[in-house]
Amino acid sequence: MHVRLLSHRPESGWSIPLPSELDSARTLVLAFAATDYGERTEVWEELAGAFPASHRLGCSSAGEILGQTVAEGSLVLAVVRFEHATVTSTAAPIQAVEVSRSTGGKIARALAPHAPKLVLVVSDGLHVNGTDLVRGLAEGLPAGTAIAGGLAGDGAHFGRTWTLVDGLPRSGWVSAVALGGPIAVGHASEGGWQAFGPEREVTASEGNVLYTLDGKPALALYKDYLGDLAAGLPATALYYPLAIRMPGEAGPGIVRTVLGIDETAQSMTFAGDIPLGARTRLMRSNHDRLVEGAAHAGAQARAGAWAPVFAIAVSCVGRRMVLGQRVDEETAATLEALPEGSSQVGFYSYGEISPSGVATCNLHNQTMTLTTIREVAA
């Protein structure tokens, strides 16, 4: 497995020349960039020219991860040529949010015949029901297939996201790559958030749109807790993710991130489903715990490997907001947990996709999700 990492900045171009010698049918090219790169067609044409045979996967982000650095307004690139692993790519448009599940199913059916060990998927971050998408993917793929990836981001703007479809940025699509053959995959997803305060019942909701908690508008609750910071909604809502638990379920439940608000409807849109009757609690974190969580994720995703691995880190925009200037402490923490010589690339997303526990896959929020890949003896 050959890995080359590089970046591109609008003012300075490529950090190193494009390694087109790594182009092949077994080559995966990962590109995560600021939303503005969606208009920079020349960059994509360059890439297309340099890597005609490779499988290109990527999306817009809320922050670009390269090694242990977090940048913005840039593009990060990882070129990975596999010796024996197979690479397949596909894409599907999302007609409407309501059909997120069937879109996931379509992607899955296209990839399933290739006996994937890992499916990397990136999706439009705003016009999708992430929970349903992941469900559709999981239903269509063989049991035991690891699914990882995330929802494309748009900085803190929540305006427009894109994914690469045939190497070109497009909004409203889901793109995926399947890796099969002699590879070992590790994965981990850690939060570091803590729930506090009273439990509140979801008394009005529709899919991933939340209206009321305990009969009172959720938006009003958030504004109360944000105080002066309410002016920064919807972004500042990321400071208080929601922990969701169905009545009768044990365990910590699932964390949900706000993607948008509607003042008229007094509603809040989340990255995943907010079921009616679910019990919710506000969550908080501080930077120490977040970094600790990331380090933990790194250690888990390593999966006992000693040889260098290629790691894809998908973290959450909410963490970026909390960590602020110290954001690169978490990406440093994950890389430090991996074997020496490992490479890391990734992005800050609007929702992370990763296996969780026994279940095949889940949509996470506010987590640092790490997926490690290495080639093993055939």
Partner 1 sequence: MKSLHNLLARQLARLGVDASRPPDVTAWETLLARVSETYADADRERYLLERSQAISSREMEELNAKLELERDRLESRVRERTAELAASEARFRSFTSLGSDWYWEQDAQFRFTSIAGNTEVYPGHTIGSHIGRTRWEIDDYDAPAGGWDDHRRLLESHQPFHEVVFRLKLPNGGRAYASVSGLPMFDDEGRFTGYRGIGRDITEQKLTEENIRRLARFDPLTGLANRTSLFEHVEHAIARSRRRPRPFALLFVDLDRFKDVNDAFGHSTGDEVLRTMARRLSLAIRAGDTVARIGGDEFVVLAEEVSPATVVADFSQRLLDTLAEPIVLQGKEFRVGASIGIAMFPADGEDAPTLLKKADMAMYRAKESGRNGYAFFAAETRNEPQERILLVSGLRRAIEADELVLFYQPKIAVRGGTMTGAEALIRWRHPQRGLLLPGTFIPLAEDSGLIRQIGRWVLRTACLQAKAWQSVAPYPVPVAVNLSARQFGDDRLAGEVAEALADSGLPARLLELEITESIMMEQPEHAAEKLRELRALGVHIAVDDFGTGYSSLARLKRFPLTSVKIDRSFVREIPHDPDDAAITTAVIAMAHSLRLRVVAEGVETEAQVRFLRERNCDEIQGFFFSRPLPAREVLPFLRRRADAHAAAIGTG
Provide the binding-site residues for partner 1, judged by CB under 8 A. Answer: 69, 196-198, 224-229, 239-240, 282, 284, 286-287, 322, 324-326, 328-329
* Residue among 173 and 240 whose Cβ is closer to partner 1: 240
Give the shortest CB-320-to-partner 1 separation in angstroms.
12
To the nearest whole angstrom, how small is the minimum distance from the Cβ of residue 275 to partner 1?
Answer: 23
Q: Output the smallest distance, CB 17 to partner 1, in A.
A: 22
What six digits make up the tokens of 202? 């979801």
Residues 6+ apart with CB under 8 A from 231: none
From residue 320, alpha-carbon distances to 145, 236, 323 in Å are: 29, 11, 5
Helix, strand, coil: what percent of the chain each, to 5?
25, 40, 30
- Which of 291, 314, 293 lies closest to 364 in space, CA to CA? 314
217 versus 339: smaller Cβ distance to partner 1: 217
Closest CB to partner 1 among residues 147, 255: 255
- Using DSSP, how many helices (H) and how many strands (E) does the chain show? 7, 27
Nearer to partner 1, 46 or 329 (CB): 329
Specify the residue, 4 or 223, whose C-beta has the smaller distance to partner 1. Answer: 223
Least CB distance to partner 1 at residue 267 (A): 21
Q: Residue 7: which H helix or E strand, with range?
A: strand 2-9
Q: Which SS3 state, helix, strand or coil, does residue 248 take?
A: coil
Closest CA to 126 of 157, 149, 90: 157
CB of 214 vs partner 1, minimal distance in Å: 10
292 or 328: CB nearest partner 1: 328
Report strand pairing: 27-33 vs 55-60.
parallel
**Are the C-beta atoms of 320 and 346 separated by less than 8 Å?**
no
How near is the Cβ of 200 to partner 1 at its closest, in Å? 9
Identity of the residue numbered 140: G
